[in-house]
Amino acid sequence: MVEVARYFTDFTQGESCGKCTFCRVGTRHMRDILKSITVGEGSMEELADLEEIGEAVIKGSLCSLGKTAPNPVLTTLRFFRDEYVAHIEEKRCPAKMCRSLIAFYIDLEACARGCDACVACCPVDAIFTTSNRKKAIDQEKCVKCGECVYACPPEYDAVRRVSPPEMIPDQGIEPLTEKEESEA
Ligand code: SF4
Ligand code: SF4
Ligand code: SF4
């Protein structure tokens, strides 16, 4: 929900004609706060700021764009406040949407040996073969696009998405050596 609010605020901020100061500056300020929350850098004080600025933008805007621009933020703050708090206090995205706060890993128990379906879909070659010839994700390379989740056949369903990134379990992964690879 936080990412949804950020997306809509970013959109309306871009659409503002700039005539009213509250709409022009207020939506920009809200967008910046939401951005910092989605990357785990928000504060509880900023939640109060979001509500205050949102109400001011509604009151101080001339047209319906400005008068409705804060609605996604104010509504999600009212009904999904716990999600905002999780982003701020636990650096965790409950919806597992915010890229800075999530990570992907492959469950070695579920991954099928010899199935390479995820490898070709990765845009940054982050998926490598492990010493037991399963697949794993190089966290340094992964850009968290989520493509491998969809590429993995449903009968294996081996790609996991977690938040915060520290939730990735230690599976004792060893990459396949070049010698082992050439002998395969
Ligand atoms: S409220 Fe409407 S008129 Fe005022 S700056 Fe926003 S878009 Fe322009
Ligand atoms: S999430 Fe995207 S970048 Fe990361 S391993 Fe999967 S396909 Fe590659
Ligand atoms: S697509 Fe799924 S089952 Fe196949 S290698 Fe990748 S993670 Fe393993």
CA of 42 to the centre of ligand 2 (A): 26
Residue-wise pLDDT for 39-87, tens only, equals 999 999 999 999 999 999 999 999 999 999 999 999 999 999 999 999 9
What percentage of the chain has pLDDT greater than the value 90?
86
Q: Whose CA is nearest to atom 4 of ligand 3?
A: 115
Please state, in angstroms and as integers, the Cα–Cα distance from residue 176 to each residue in 78, 146, 160, following that order.
50, 24, 21
- Taken in order 176, 179, 181, 184, the sign of the CA dihedral is negative
Q: For the chain, where do the domains classified as CATH 3.30.70.20 start and end?
A: 102-183
CATH architecture group of domain 2-89:
Up-down Bundle (1.20)
CA of 51 to the centre of ligand 1 (A): 19
Residue 176 has pLDDT above 90, yes or no: no
pTM for the whole structure: 0.85
- H/E segment holding residue 127: strand 127-129
CA-nearest of 112, 165, 103, 169 to 135 is 112
Pocket of ligand 2 (CB under 6 A): 104, 121-122, 124, 126-127, 137, 142-148
Residue-wise pLDDT for 163-173, tens only, equals 999 999 998 88
Q: How confident is the model at residue 183 (pLDDT cuts 50, 70, 90)?
A: low
Burial of 183 from C-beta contacts in 10 A (0-12 / 13-18 / 19+): exposed
State the Cα–Cα distance between residues 35 and 13, nearest whole angstrom. 13
CA of 142 to the centre of ligand 2 (A): 5
Q: Domain 102-183 - what CATH class?
A: alpha beta
Nearest-5° Cα angle at 102, 97 to 104: 110
Query: Is any atom of ligand 3 closer than 6 Å to the C-beta of 137?
Result: no
Give the model's pLDDT for residue 145: 96
Phi then psi dihedrals of residue 121, to 5 deg: -80, -15
Q: For the chain, where do the domains classified as CATH 1.20.1440.230 start and end?
A: 2-89
**pLDDT, the chain, mean:** 93
Residue 182 has pLDDT above 80, yes or no: no
